[in-house]
Structures are given as structure tokens and as C-alpha cells.
Amino acid sequence: MQDISTYNFKGKRVLIRVDFNVPMNKETLEVTDNTRIRAAAPTIKHILDNGGSVVIMSHLGRPKDASESRFSLENIVEDTSKVLGVDVRFAGDCIGTDALKMSAELNPGEVMMLENVRYYKQETTGTESFAEILAKHGDTFVNDAFGTAHRAHASTTVVAKFFPNDKMFGFLIEGEIRSVDKVLNSTEKPLTAIVGGAKVSSKITIIERLLDTVDNLIVGGGMAYTFVKASGGKVGNSLVEDDYLDMAKRIMTDAKAKGVHLHIPTDTIIADAFSNDANIKEVDITEIPDGWMGLDVGSQTAAECAEIISNSRLILWNGPMGVFEMENFQAGTVAVANAIVAATAKGAFSLIGGGDSVAAINQFNLADKVSYVSTGGGAMLEYLEGKELPGIKAIRG
């Protein structure tokens, strides 16, 4: 594997896998959020500035085949040109002879974009012969699509084998990997993980993995009520996964055995309906009356969590503390976000990884006040769980 910072791109045609699966307006087919294009720009510009040319390869949505033109990458060529400040040419296909001719004739400083790789079913099946044709577009392969690194698709994984000596990560993937590795492998202490969100079932592997590394594990969100019920508390109509009560008990026992401070909420904001207009009150989390449900942590819990977080040196946050989308149930999530910001200002390293905590930090306009906000979604979660991502392995070997 090569290093993008030191690799000599002069005269090289560089095939780069990016994640330009951007949100679009379904009627006008306009890009509604170009974050992913901007995120890949440093890698593309670096290659161009160092004498290379670039062939952009991506998927967009889940088309059944090329007949679904609303998934054409042609719809995002203009936005990409604007972001890069370079005219991006479009190849109407990703493996056709015209597309291959276009990439063969590319001059240093020029950029072209291939058509949606998912127009071919061989992409998702990871077909080697398809990947081999894609590989002909470049002398060098750069993978900068962290969001799809957990998929063993032709353009994310298989293609790398055709570049035994000329493959590397882009800056975006490098940053994602570095930030997770920093949290999971650093010896700095205390390390605090905050795991929230709806369900224990979707976070169980991460929680188990974290028990071996963290000093403090704060549990919040809907999953907290399964822990409370497992300890004998009354949770009323709160979200509970009865199948996971034993698992919750086991996690509490394991945490004790491993010397991890497991922080389960002690108070909660309850509501008599899942609505911002419902009646609400703050109660002990073990005494939720029937007909009421816990939708946020209470003020005492929020203050305790904030205290733990602000004294931490490494922080990982995955999943909100409550139903932050509704104003009446966002105080716990806001308190956690503010504490992370405060700890970061004092020199802690903070990583916000995984869907809804990323949405929360963006909603509170605090994304630029934490150390790293992951764009990785499912890939980030799998990496945190300790799984080997095929797209990463294909480059690292």
C-alpha cells in the first residue's frame, strides 16, 4: 500500500472510488446537500496539483439497471465541477469502449466521471471480470469512499487487486481510520464512550467491544430502559427489548468485572404520548408509571454525564440520549453535546460516529467544535465493532 501524501502522481491516471451517493431532489434531480462531494475534494485536488489526472467512480442510490436515469451520475457532474473548480467530463458508461477511450486520453489536470457503477449488477456481486475492466481506467487506484468500505463490491474492494503496487487510501478514509484507531488504541485516559439511540440490539456488538477499552460507558436513549428493566425497575410504556434483558444483565456484570464504570440513567423525562405536545414530567427512572414512556434522560443524569465527559481525554459518541428530534426531549442530548465541546476545548479528542449523533451535532451547530465527525455511517459502526472492512483490507493487504 502507498501513502497518498508521498506518492508521485506525475503523469498518472488515477481511478478514485468516492462516495457521491448524495441526497437529491426527486423531482428536479438537483443535489440538495453536497457534503460528500466537498469531503472528497481535498484528495482529488491533491492528485491534480501533483500532476495526475482523475477518473471519478461512484454509485448513486440503488438502481435496478441503467434504465433508471434518475440515478445517473450525470446529474451531479455540474456540482462536482463547481466544488473542484475544474470542468468535469462525463462518460456515459463505466465499462464501455467510449468510456475507456475517454480515460485513456486524459491529460494531467483533467477530471472525468464514470456513470453509476450500480447500473451493473456485477458491481454488488463483486464480479472480478467487471472490476478488471473498471481497473483499466487508471494506473493508480485511490479509495476514498469510507461509507462503502464495508461492502465487498467490485469498485470498492475487488478492483484494488489489479493495482498490486499502486493503491492507497484518500485523505477522507485516512482521517476516519485514524480517528477511530486513536479512540480505540490510545492509552490516554479516561476514555468515555456514550452509546445511545433507539435499541440495544443494534449496538450490542459495539458495547461488548467497548467494555474492553473504555473507562466509562454511558448508556442513554431508548436502550437505557432495557437495562433499567433488567435491574428490576418499572419502565411503564418505554421502549424495551425483552429479548435483550439477559444480555443487559450480562453487560452490567461484565462491566463490573472489567472495572468499567457503566453509567445507566437515574432519572428520566417521561411523556404520556410519543409527541412533543404530550404531558411531561421528570421522575426516577425505575418508577415510570404505566401509560408513560421515557423519552429523554433527566436533569440529574444529564449533569452526571456532563461531569464524566468533561473530565475525559478521549470521547466516543454514538447515538442520542433521547428523542432529540422533538424539542421537549432534547435536553439530555444537548447536555452531552455541550460537554463534549467543553472537553474538546480543554484538549480532549472527541469522535462523533454513527448516524443520529452526527445528525444531532449538526442540528445543534456544534460539528466544528468537536475533533472529528464521521461520515461513515454503517462502515464506521462496523469498524468500531472491530470488523475487518473489505474495502480497507483490499488496500492494506
Is 387 assigned a catalytic role?
no
CA distance 71 to 77: 12
Of residues 170 and 236, the one with the C-beta less far from ligand AMP: 236
* Binding test (CB under 6 A) with ligand AMP, winner from 126, 147, 175, 319: 319
Q: Which stretch binds ligand AMP (CB under 6 A): 9-17, 75-83, 102-110, 191-199?
A: 191-199
Site of grid cell 451493473: 120
Q: Which three cell numbers mark 233?
A: 425497575
* Binding test (CB under 6 A) with ligand AMP, winner from 52, 138, 170, 222: 222
**55 binds ligand AMP, rule: CB under 6 A:** no
Which residues, including other chains, have CB under 8 Å from residue 159's CB and lie 6 or more apart? Answer: 15, 17, 131, 134, 135, 141
Amino acid, res. 349: F
**221 binds ligand AMP, rule: CB under 6 A:** yes
The sign of the torsion formed by the CA atoms of 243, 245, 246, 251 equals: positive
CA distance 25 to 116: 18
Is 147 assigned a catalytic role?
no
Please tell me the number of Cα atoms within 13 Å of 352 on its side-chain side: 27
Catalytic choice (36, 118, 203, 229) = 36
Q: Which three cell numbers mark 18?
A: 468516492
CA distance 338 to 302: 11
Of residues 144 and 382, the one with the C-beta less far from ligand AMP: 382
The sign of the torsion formed by the CA atoms of 354, 357, 359, 364 equals: negative
Is 355 assigned a catalytic role?
yes
Residue in 114, 128, 118, 95 with CA at minimum distance from that of residue 54 = 114
Of residues 68 and 325, the one with the C-beta less far from ligand AMP: 325
Q: Considering only residues 67 through 126, tell me which ones interact with ligand AMP, judged by CB under 6 A.
A: none
Q: Which stretch binds ligand AMP (CB under 6 A): 105-113, 118-126, 275-283, 322-330?
A: 322-330
**14 binds ligand AMP, rule: CB under 6 A:** no
Is 36 assigned a catalytic role?
yes
Catalytic choice (92, 96, 378, 386) = 378
C-alpha angle 388-391-396 in degrees, rounded to nearest 5: 75
Q: Residue 324 Cβ, how far from ligand AMP at the closest point, in Å?
A: 6
**206 binds ligand AMP, rule: CB under 6 A:** no
Q: Residue 213 Cβ, how far from ligand AMP at the closest point, in Å?
A: 20
* Binding test (CB under 6 A) with ligand AMP, winner from 126, 170, 236, 322: 322
Amino acid, res. 112: M
CA distance 55 to 141: 10
DSSP per residue over 247-279, as a string? Answer: HHHHHHHHHHHTT-EEE--SEEEEESSSSTTS-
Q: Which stretch binds ligand AMP (CB under 6 A): 127-135, 198-206, 361-369, 376-384?
A: 198-206
Of residues 41 and 331, the one with the C-beta less far from ligand AMP: 331
Q: How many residues bind ligand AMP (CB under 6 A)?
A: 16
**295 binds ligand AMP, rule: CB under 6 A:** yes
**283 binds ligand AMP, rule: CB under 6 A:** no
* Binding test (CB under 6 A) with ligand AMP, winner from 24, 111, 230, 323: 323
CA distance 157 to 166: 14
The contact pattern for ligand AMP, residues 345-384, with x = CB under 6 A and - = no contact, is: ----------xx----------------------------
Q: Which stretch binds ligand AMP (CB under 6 A): 118-126, 137-145, 197-205, 304-312?
A: 197-205
Q: Residue 274 Cβ, how far from ligand AMP at the closest point, in Å?
A: 7
Provide the pairing of β-strand 13-17 with 53-57: parallel
From the CB of residue 168, how many other CB atoms can be counted at a distance below 10 Å? 24
Backbone dihedral region for residue 13 (phi beyond 0: left; psi -120 to 50: alpha; all else: beta): beta
Q: Residue 356 Cβ, how far from ligand AMP at the closest point, in Å?
A: 4
Of residues 84 and 384, the one with the C-beta less far from ligand AMP: 384
CA distance 142 to 145: 9
CA distance 332 to 194: 12
Q: Is 189 helix (H, G, I), strand (E, B) or coil?
A: coil
Catalytic choice (52, 126, 221, 355) = 355
Which residues of this protein are in contact with ligand AMP, per CB under 6 A? 197-199, 202, 221-222, 239, 294-295, 319-320, 322-323, 325, 355-356
Catalytic annotation, residues:
36, 199, 355, 378
